[in-house]
Amino acid sequence: MEYAAIVREMRRLALEAGDRIMEIYDGPDFEVMTKSDNSPVTAADEAADAHIAAGLRAAFPDIALVTEEQAESHDVTAATFFIVDPLDGTKEFINRRGDFTVNIALVEDGVPTRGVVFAPAKGRLFYTRADGRSVEETGAFVKDAPGDEREIGVSNPDNSALMVVASKSHRDAATDAYIAQYSVRDMTSAGSSLKFCLVATGEADLYPRLGRTMEWDTAAGDAVLRGAGGHVVRFDAPEEPLAYGKPGFGNPFFIAYAPGVELKAG
């Protein structure tokens, strides 16, 4: 597998998709449409999806592709595939809150091995290098070449004073009840796959998700967290890592965390 070429292309396409998203985000009011599952979609989702899909298909025609905006046409049985959420956090985008991301990941045998998460409104870019280690790139982002990178790694958590991150748009009583089992120093909320990245950088120790997600929502952030030394496991079976390539691409509830967090029973 040509990981260097794959990471280079995923990074470039994420940055270019971010430009297209920000053109709409910074422009006049935009139309919000409703998909068949009643979730919102905008022209930014569609433009980013088309750009990323075209780029990946041109560069890697032999690798299967799953994208959120084309999900109804997918029947992927390949062991290796790309999975894309062109605009994760559409509700954050619509409300102009900035916590949205472009997510692109490579899945191999059920594991997201390489991933890129770009938050264009926040100017934060995270990805796994070819060697599988995760970095955050800083400074001005140049499309054709990485800039300054810093390796990121999870925290050494203090179980008497954990930092917890939870969903901004999908927080519920069940999540609050689960978090209440821990000794929490502070909590923060974030949209989209940024929550995985906050655990990956050590800005948070624990991210539980007791709600519906799809594989394209989580794969890139999962890859970044794994590459930073973290774990993403099933909520109902914490000994099992979250797996990918499931029929329908739906996820079970899950917990993302830094090793050392003493997980509580669900």
pLDDT attached to residue 142: 93
The whole-angstrom separation of Cα 98 and Cα 191 is 8
217 annotated ligand-binding residue: yes
89 annotated ligand-binding residue: yes
In the chain, the percentage of residues whose pLDDT exceeds 70 is 94
pLDDT attached to residue 43: 85
More confident residue, 263 or 247: 263
Mean pLDDT (the chain, rounded): 92
The whole-angstrom separation of Cα 224 and Cα 205 is 15
Q: How confident is the model at residue 168 (pLDDT cuts 50, 70, 90)?
A: low
87 annotated ligand-binding residue: yes
Query: What residue ranges do the domains of the chain occupy?
Result: 3-151, 162-257
- CATH of the structural domain 162-257, one choice from 1.10.1660.10, 3.40.1160.10, 3.40.190.80, 3.90.550.10: 3.40.190.80
68 annotated ligand-binding residue: yes
pLDDT attached to residue 91: 84
Domain spanning 3-151: which superfamily? Fructose-1,6-Bisphosphatase, subunit A, domain 1 (3.30.540.10)
The whole-angstrom separation of Cα 13 and Cα 144 is 10
Mean per-residue pLDDT, 40-49: 85
Mean per-residue pLDDT, 179-184: 96
pLDDT attached to residue 90: 82
pLDDT attached to residue 75: 65
pLDDT in tens, 108-127: 999 999 999 999 999 999 99
More confident residue, 26 or 261: 261
- Comparing 68-82, 142-156, 186-200, which segment has the lowest mean pLDDT? 68-82
The whole-angstrom separation of Cα 191 and Cα 18 is 16
